[in-house]
Structure 1
Amino acid sequence: MTYSREQGDINASDARGRYWERNLSPAARAVFEADHRYFLHQSLSTPVLNVLSRAEGIHIYDMDGKAYIDMHGNGVHNAGFNNDAVIEAVVAALREKNTFAPRRYTNAHAVALAKKLVEITPEGLDRVLFAPGGSEAIEMAVMLAKQVTGKWKTISFWDSYHGNGFQAASVGGERLFKTGSGPMVPGALHVEFPNYYRNPWGFATEEQVDDEILRQMELLFEREGDIACVVGEPISSTPVVPSGRFWARVKAMCEKYGALLIFDEIIEGFGRTGRMFACEHSVTPDVLVLGKSLGGGLLPFAGIVTREAYNTLPHVSIGHYTHEKNGLCAAAGLAMIAYVEKHGLVRQAERVGAFALDWLEGMRARCPLVGHVGGKGLHIGIELVKDGDAKEKAVAEAEAVMYKAMERGVAFKIIEGNVITLRPSLLITEDEMRGALEIIEQCIREVAHGRGYE
Structure 2
Amino acid sequence: VELAKKLADLLPGNLNRSLFAPGGTSVIGIALKLARLVTGKHKVISLWDSFHGASLDAIAVGGETVFKHEMGPMMPGVTLIPPATTYRGVFGSTDKDQVKYADYLEYVIEKEGNIGAFLAETIRNKDVQIPSKAYWQRVREICTKHQVLLILDEIPIALGRTGKMFAFENFGIEPDILCLGKGLGGGIIPFAAMVTRDSYNIATEVSLGHYTHEKNPLGSVAALATITYIGKEQLLQKVIDDGQWLRIKLQQLKEQYPLIGDIRGIGLLWGIELVTDTETKEKANKEAEKIMYDCMRLGLSFKVSQGNVLQLSPALTISRADLEKAVKILSMVLDKHS
SS of residue in 1 equivalent to 2:165: coil
* Residue 131 (structure 2) aligns with: 242
Farther off after superposition, 308-317 or 405-414: 308-317
SS of residue in 2 equivalent to 1:285: coil
Q: Is the 8 A contact 1:273 1:376 kept in 2?
A: yes
1:170-210 deviations in Å (ceiling 9; x for gaps): 11000111111111110111111111111135x35222243
SS of residue in 1 equivalent to 2:89: coil
* Residue 146 (structure 2) aligns with: 257
1:277-311 deviations in Å (ceiling 9; x for gaps): 10101111111100001112221110111110101
Choose which of 109, 114, 128 in structure 2 pairs with 1:221.
109
Q: Is the 8 A contact 1:154 1:187 kept in 2?
A: yes
Unaligned runs of 5+ in 2: none
SS of residue in 1 equivalent to 2:15: coil
The alpha carbon displacement at 1:121 in A equals: 2.1
The alpha carbon displacement at 1:376 in A equals: 0.8
Choose which of 321, 331, 335 in structure 1 pairs with 2:221.
331
The alpha carbon displacement at 1:345 in A equals: 1.0
The alpha carbon displacement at 1:319 in A equals: 1.0
1:135-158 deviations in Å (ceiling 9; x for gaps): 001001111111100001111100
* Residue 205 (structure 2) aligns with: 315
The amino acid of 1:407's aligned partner reads R
CA distance in 1, matches of 2:161, 2:269: 6
* Residue 25 (structure 2) aligns with: 135
CA distance in 2, matches of 1:345, 1:208: 33
Summarize the alignment of residues 54-453 of structure 1 with structure 2, pairs less than 5 Å apart: 111-201=1-91, 203-211=92-100, 213-237=101-125, 238-282=127-171, 283-448=173-338
The alpha carbon displacement at 1:215 in A equals: 3.2
The alpha carbon displacement at 1:428 in A equals: 1.0
The amino acid of 1:169's aligned partner reads I
The amino acid of 2:158's aligned partner reads G
CA distance in 2, matches of 1:209, 1:335: 38
Unaligned runs of 5+ in 1: 1-110, 449-454
1:229-263 deviations in Å (ceiling 9; x for gaps): 11111111110110001011111111111110011
The amino acid of 1:439's aligned partner reads I
Q: Is the 8 A contact 1:294 1:302 kept in 2?
A: yes
CA distance in 1, matches of 2:305, 2:284: 12
The alpha carbon displacement at 1:216 in A equals: 2.3
* Residue 71 (structure 1) aligns with: none
SS of residue in 2 equivalent to 1:354: helix
CA RMSD of aligned residues (A): 1.1
CA distance in 2, matches of 1:205, 1:410: 32
* Residue 11 (structure 1) aligns with: none
SS of residue in 1 equivalent to 2:179: strand
CA distance in 2, matches of 1:347, 1:373: 22
Q: Is the 8 A contact 1:352 1:429 kept in 2?
A: no
CA distance in 1, matches of 2:114, 2:221: 40
The alpha carbon displacement at 1:123 in A equals: 3.0
CA distance in 2, matches of 1:122, 1:263: 14
Q: Is the 8 A contact 2:17 2:196 kept in 1?
A: yes
Q: Is the 8 A contact 1:274 1:346 kept in 2?
A: yes
CA distance in 2, matches of 1:226, 1:172: 19
Greater relative contact order (Cα < 8 A, sep 6+)? 1
The normalised TM-score by structure 2 is 0.97
Structure 1's 264 and 204: CA in aligned 2 closer, same or farther, altered over 3 A?
closer
The alpha carbon displacement at 1:223 in A equals: 1.4
Higher Rg of the two aligned structures: 1
Farther off after superposition, 213-222 or 147-156: 213-222
The normalised TM-score by structure 1 is 0.73
Runs of 4+ residues over 3 Å off in structure 1: none
Q: Is the 8 A contact 1:355 1:430 kept in 2?
A: no
The amino acid of 2:82's aligned partner reads E
The alpha carbon displacement at 1:114 in A equals: 1.1
